Amino acid sequence: MRTTIGVACAVIASALCAAPASAQAIFTERNISVEAAFKISQAAIAACKANGYDISVVVVDRNGLVRLAVRADSASPHNFELARRKAYTARTFRRTSASWAKRMVDEPELSGQKNLAEVIPLGGGVPIDAGKDTIGAVGVSGSPGQDKDEACAAAGVAAIASELK
């Protein structure tokens, strides 16, 4: 047993020593700020409210964790959870949740992705891209259609487009 552990440690140590000299112990990631998440949620709510829809909005960060969540006074209880999962799906796959849902139909060999925890094949999730980085996503639920949810989510992202360069 000691020999096995010793060999494993030697293998790990040699792999670490073989790392390129340019490897760094610390790196910087871009992420969505709470201020930007607030602006996104306000714009998404306003877009849906203009059409008479009370919605739930969830903004997740680059890691798929909730950054900000809002549920309208008259939104159905399940809308909150759906909005979160739509945002998570858009962040995970770096595309709208509607385009990912369509991809599951068009490319059945990928349908196993539907078994991943927390993803949902419903429209209403939009990624938040800053250049080539997906720094978060927004999910909306509660309008009378997934296309309307997605339009409100897209309006939210559009509200901070000039800040995403």
**Domain harbouring 69, CATH code:** 3.30.450.150
Any domain includes 10: no
Does 6 score more than 60 pLDDT?
no
pLDDT at 14: 53
Q: Which pLDDT value is given to residue 24? A: 85
pLDDT at residue 11 tops 90? no
Q: Whole-angstrom Cα distance, residue 113 to residue 116?
A: 6
Cβ(68)–Cβ(34) below 8 Å = yes
Quote the domain boundaries for residue 69: 30-163
Alpha helices, DSSP H only, in 50-145? Answer: 77-93, 97-106
Please, which pLDDT band fits residue 3 given cuts at 50, 70 and 90? Answer: low
**What average pLDDT does the segment 104-117 reach?**
92
Largest CA distance in the chain: 70
Rounded Cα gap, residues 87 and 102, in angstroms: 16
Q: Which 8-state DSSP code applies to residue 68?
A: E
Judge whether 11 lies within some domain: no
Strand pairing report for 125-130 and 66-71 = unpaired
pLDDT at 19: 53
- pLDDT exceeds 60 at position 87: yes
Task: Please tell me the total count of domains within the chain.
Answer: 1
Q: What is the pLDDT of residue 141?
A: 98
Percentage of the chain with pLDDT > 90? 78
Q: Is 130 inside any structural domain?
A: yes
Q: In the predicted model, what is the mean pLDDT of the chain? A: 90
pLDDT for the residue 17 = 53
Q: Is residue 114 part of a domain?
A: yes
In this structure, is residue 60 part of a structural domain? yes
User: Is residue 132 situated within a structural domain?
Assistant: yes
Q: Which has more confidence, 7 or 95?
A: 95
Residue 8 domain-assigned (yes or no): no
Q: What is the spatial distance between Cα 97 and Cα 89, in angstroms, rounded to a whole number?
A: 6
Distance of CA 140 to the CA centre of its chain: 12
- Single out the residue of 143, 139, 31 nearest to residue 76, CA to CA: 143
**Residue 22 within a domain:** no
The whole-number pLDDT of residue 111 equals 87
Task: State the Rg of the chain over Cα.
Answer: 20
Confidence of residue 129 (pLDDT cuts 50, 70, 90): very high
Q: What is the mean pLDDT of residues 40-69?
A: 97
